[in-house]
């Protein structure tokens, strides 16, 4: 009897979740998380700290808002997105990035001034990508 009620509750919850989803929701949260992890590792390797969420810098130096990106619309998609980031770090060719994050290496600008840490960059990318 308990499993019947559980099944009914899941079915009803699924219907409400489906109704809330719209075209801006990602159809591939794993790919979204994988891409965020890849970008984070590239930026960590180059000592780059990302702009605040929702903005980018033009070649003129001006900071402008960017169009709304695809987002995760369910907690399952958030979990799948973050899982992709963790799996990215487990691949052999990405172990160096994982070590930098684990050691929380300080990132510096080309002038040698501290601009953040590897863990901060990692969290920024995964949280802004997966928790939208």
Average pLDDT estimate for 24-45: 89
Q: How far apart are CA 127 and CA 56, in angstroms?
A: 17
Q: Which residue has the higher pLDDT, 24 or 19?
A: 24
Q: What share of the chain is helix, strand, coil (3-state, %, to 5)?
A: 60, 10, 30
Read off the pLDDT of residues 82-123 as tens digits, 9 standing for 90 and up: 999 999 999 989 999 999 999 999 888 777 788 789 999 899
């Amino acid at each position: 009897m308990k499993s019947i009620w559980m099944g009914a509750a899941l079915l009803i919850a699924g219907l409400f979740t489906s109704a809330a989803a719209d075209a801006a929701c990602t159809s591939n949260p794993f790919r979204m998380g994988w891409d965020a992890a890849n970008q984070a590792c590239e930026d960590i390797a180059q000592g780059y700290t990302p702009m605040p969420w929702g903005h980018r810098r033009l070649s003129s130096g001006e900071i402008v808002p960017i169009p709304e990106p695809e987002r995760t619309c369910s907690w399952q998609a958030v979990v799948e997105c973050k899982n992709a980031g963790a799996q990215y770090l487990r691949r052999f060719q990405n172990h160096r990035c994982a070590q930098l994050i684990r050691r929380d290496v300080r990132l510096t600008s080309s002038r040698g001034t501290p601009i953040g840490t590897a863990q901060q960059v990692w969290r920024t990318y995964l949280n802004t990508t997966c928790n939208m």
